[in-house]
Structure 1
Amino acid sequence: MDAAASQSGLEAVIRLLKKFVRFARGADTLSVAEKVYSIAGCLAIVTTFLLVMSVQTVRLQTTYRHMYATSAEAAISIGRINALIYAIVMESRGIYMSGDRSTMKPFAEGLERRNRELADAVKGLERTAGDDDADQLASFRERIAQFIEFRQELVRRGLEIGPAAAREWGDNDANRTLRSKLNVDLETLERIYRQRAQEADELADTNRYAAAYLFMLGLAALYLAGLNVVVMRSSVVGALAEITRATDRIADGDVKSEVPHLGRHDEIGHLARAVQHFRDAVARIFELEELELDTAQARDAAMTERDKFNDKYQAKKWQLSAAINSMPQGLIMLDGKATVVAMNANYRRIYNLPETIQAGSTLEEILQHRVKSGLFSGDVAKYVGAVLDRIAKREPTAYEIALNDGRIIKIYERPMDGGGWVSVQEDVTDQRQRERILERMERFLATIIENVAEGIIAKDARNLRYVFVNRAAEKMIGMSRGEIIGKTARELFSADAAALIEKRDQQLLAQKQQLEPIVDTIDNPARGRRVISARRVQIGGAGEESHMFVTMVEDRTEQMVAAA
């Protein structure tokens, strides 16, 4: 009985293995239950290994962190102790080299402070040291105590007796012997903690291998979990959802939709084939009605699409016309043969075009009208040829023309997609006149400012950098404007003079204007001590780019000398 049961179980296992082999080769031989149970078993095995490796990794990580932290803290403490010993020795040399007690006192205070820091550093090293280091630290602590006591006595002798007594106490073989032993102790401790750091690194390597194993097991678990989700989704949940959607489409009259999963050999495949039979039956019933309905829908859809296209065309045409006519500049669009595609009202106004010239007219007709109205006196054929050449080359350009009535027109030309050309034209007559007036005014003001006797200095109120000095100011300061402009008072004058100038700037900022002269004495780096009289005004206000301080300066040094 038992032998027959064993034989039957063995045969079942062999059949299952054969199914897995055929499934691995691409055949859909496994049922949904077999797929899910197989994945769950593998996932349980991987999870067990993952748990064991996690415990081992945590143990190794804890040991590594402790060893690394203690060795690192000890190494830092040893380095600090070594630096403090060196600093104390340097302070001691300062005491030796001092000529009197007042000179020696800062070194003595620094040495006492370093002694306290050294004692604290040794205590910190003892806190991080282990039981294995107790004997070595005990001797090291005794030498440190001797070193500190010796230096304290050195300070006492230096302050109470004198630098010579301190030098006699500190410059001897006992002191040098103690220093040598301390160096040996530090080197020994450094070797101990370097060895401990190497042991921590070896443990870190072992931990990295464990982490790698843990990572691979985690990936395997994640893969199996994802595989389980994929199998459940594709084999059961997703398949049933797709078949349900197919059934809903058929119930809504969509008898041409495909039924998924017809090729499967499990229960899902049987269900899909049953749905397909249902679809075929419904299709045969509604075939003629569906054909008639499709014809009517196609006709209605075509008419609707035609109406939508016509509405969109009219809307776009209106929007384009409104946009073109609302432009403040004149605009004309030409095709590749210089025929007008569109123009706006401002273009008509610039050249006083009649209503007979519309879209479809040629550029030559526009130029002929300009000739008749006296706005063009060039060669029409040559001008049109030049425009056609630019259209062919598709090279954008910008230029200005002067009409016979005195107006100046700024023209921007750009190529359009499809071989056309667009020209934007603007009447800039008023702008050019204002620019000429402004230019004359600037030259007039510059001439006046450069020839007044007073020095005029302008400074940017935001960063207090000089932006202008006239000829008289250059002479008073004794520097060229190239040396002055772009710099602050602190970059040009002494600290006292710069502070006084900045004080006057703050007074000006508070008072808005200083029209009454203020007499100050300034140390000029180029001309020496000068007596100046200054009046100041503000231009603009805070937050404005034009916010400036303007100072009018008069050099009264010679007058003051003559009066004295």
Structure 2
Amino acid sequence: MDRILGRMTITIKSALLIVIMAVVALIIAVLSYDGLMVSERHGETMRNASERATYGERANGLVMSVVSDSRGIYMSADSAKAEKFAVTLMAALDKLGETMAAWERAVPEAQRADFVPVMAKAQEFIAFRSELVRLGRTEGPAAARAYGDNDANRANRKAFNDQLEKLAVQNAAAVEAGVDAMRDFHDGRLLLLLGVAAAGILLGLAAAGFVAIAGIGRPLGRISGAMETIAAGTDDVTVPGTDRRDEVGVMARALEVLRGAQATARRLGEERERAQVERLKRAEALERRIQGFDREVVSILSEVDKAIRHLQDTASTMSGLADDLRGRAGSSAAAAEETSANVQTVAAAAEEMAGTLREISNQVVRSTDVAAKASAQAEGADQTIQSLAEAAGRIGDIVRLIEDIAGQTNLLALNATIEAARAGEAGKGFAVVAGEVKSLAGQTGKATADIAAQISAIQAATERSVEAFRAIGGTIDNINEISTTIASAVEEQTAATGEIARNVQQAAVGSQEVSTTVSQVNRAADDTGTAARSLAQATDLLSAQAGRLRHDIDAFLTDMRNQSLSAA
């Protein structure tokens, strides 16, 4: 048993006691619940018996009311006076029927057979009294009295009352028996609960006492003895209970550790004395290493200091170069911007010149077209005038026939008018002559001499017109040649202007690239200056850190010497 208790912690032991008490409480709860259910069943039985007793008393009262109202009908002088008794009697019969039906539903299944004759008597009583009321209403109180006021009816009513009384006695006996049974059950169940509670309390106390003595007190006593022995300085004692798994085992193992630590401390004290001599030797060797390390660190820090100064000089030089590069880049940027502006101006002028040349070329083309049209028209007019000269020569030969062909003169004048319209501006003079011809055609009969003179004038004017139109044709040809020359020159100039515009555009792109490159150089100069300043700051920080490193190394070496002396 002690081994079993040694495997359980105090928590488990306490939980075991709690479980025992919980089991006892559960048993008590189950018994109490069962008693409650049994009491509920007894109570239901008693309530049912009491309800049936109530129905019996109510049925007896209704029977007495029906009998009283029946006598009222008997004693009434006529049907009208008997009606008030008939109404109350029928209401009582209805309530009696409802009461008997409810009573029947409340009767237990085992007693239904005994209740069947009672229900039969009740139905017979209700039917008989209903017929009595019918006779009193229809035939009069005398007929009702003759039907109901007799010994047979009274015997029937008495038998019904006897059955009701019998049931009432049975219900009263059932209620009393239920009360006695419930009282006996409660008394027995109370004794059982008290016994279980007492047994549970005794069992819990016994278990608690056993656990406290065998599982806690006795093992602690043995550990206490071992603890006193160890406290006295004895290490070769066996600590009891180290194999236990409870808190006592934890204490025993802790005491075993303490015993081992005490033995180890004594052994270490002996070893400490031997190690003291070795420590002094190591301290001397450490001092020698510290001195050598100090010399090495001083040499390294000197080299670091030289490198820092060199970095500072380099950073200063880089900063100066960056400033100079930034200035030169600024000048280059200004020049590049000015060049870009000039190139843009030239490009705009070249574009404008190209537009002007394109417009001149268009005008020259249109002038050439107009000159070609004018040349064609001049050739047409020349041919017309040649025809007119020939016609004028023939007119001189046929003057004598003018009178005969006066009718045809109008047709000739019409043709001359059409030819003048074709000649355009050059044919205006010929149109005047045609008009005169029309007029002369109307005056043919007046004077042929005048016609001859006019013909001479026409011939002279015709010769001059021919010469003028030939001169106009030559001028138009010259205009065509000049227009062709101008068109060729304009095309060459347009091509040259386009080439200039392309070259200017390339120059603009180049100047823009120069400006971009100068901006990049300027940014690079700024980055170089920033890097130089960062390098200067880094060298200053490195110099400060080197100083702190020297200070920390000196402090470290001093601490090492002090620790070495302390250890010694």
After TM superposition, is the score higher than 0.5?
A: no
Higher relative contact order (CA 8 A, sep 6+): 2
**TM-score, normalising length: structure 1:** 0.33
Q: Select the structure that is richer in helix.
A: 2
**TM-score, normalising length: structure 2:** 0.32
Larger radius of gyration: 2
